[in-house]
Amino acid sequence: MSSVLDKIQAPIKLSEASPEIIKAVQSAIGAKVDGICGVETILKFNAFKKAHSLGEPDYLGATTAKKLLEMLSSGVPILKISPVGLKLICDFEGCRLEAYKCPANVLTIGYGHTKGVKPGMKITKIQAEEFLRQDLAEFESAIASLVKVPLNQNQFDSLVSFTYNCGIEALRSSTLLKLLNAKDYKGAANQFLRWNKAGGKVMAGLTRRRQAEKSMFEKPVPQT
């Protein structure tokens, strides 16, 4: 499948690419490999591009193809959030079916969803769960792209929760990521606790969340 990416030169819209190209992209970004450019594939692909500053979303060009090939050849398994990690996020986010402003003064709805939210907006529980699924796909892909060292499931889950709450740009520019990619896992774990402010003020809820994420990051995964 890597050979089809080798041949990419002029940018093409991913949704208009051949099934073979889409399958190669899906393999690299950890999406379901079916050759169909659905919502999950687009979200993960654009998160991958954003994490690597690869320009306009939705389009696959030579530079993006080269970076995807690097992912394919790395041999690093691409993880998805576990039920335990999902519960951590849902417990802290809660689910609200009408738009509100979070402590950072950002319009929010559902399980902490912020894209396209407007004042007075209302959704159903099913829509909230769909937003959650879409957001998780984006953050899972970003972590797979940004983290260059092996992660166990607990470390991955804690980073998904952190990025879900703080954002991809926050993770990319963080000392946490810098230390993690230098294989300083202990130093990276200690960085979680620094991210407990909103609007310049320490928030009790954020402090609890960062403590929970740090504990999860440091918790060994039982050998099977």
Q: Which residues are catalytic?
A: 93, 102
**142 contacts 48 by C-beta, under 8 angstroms:** yes
d(CA 162, CA 153): 14
**90 contacts 72 by C-beta, under 8 angstroms:** no
**26 contacts 119 by C-beta, under 8 angstroms:** no
Using the Cα atoms of residue 187, residue 86, residue 151 and residue 60 in order, give the sign of their dihedral. negative
Pairing mode, strands 107-110 and 96-101 = antiparallel
**65 contacts 5 by C-beta, under 8 angstroms:** yes
d(CA 94, CA 117): 16
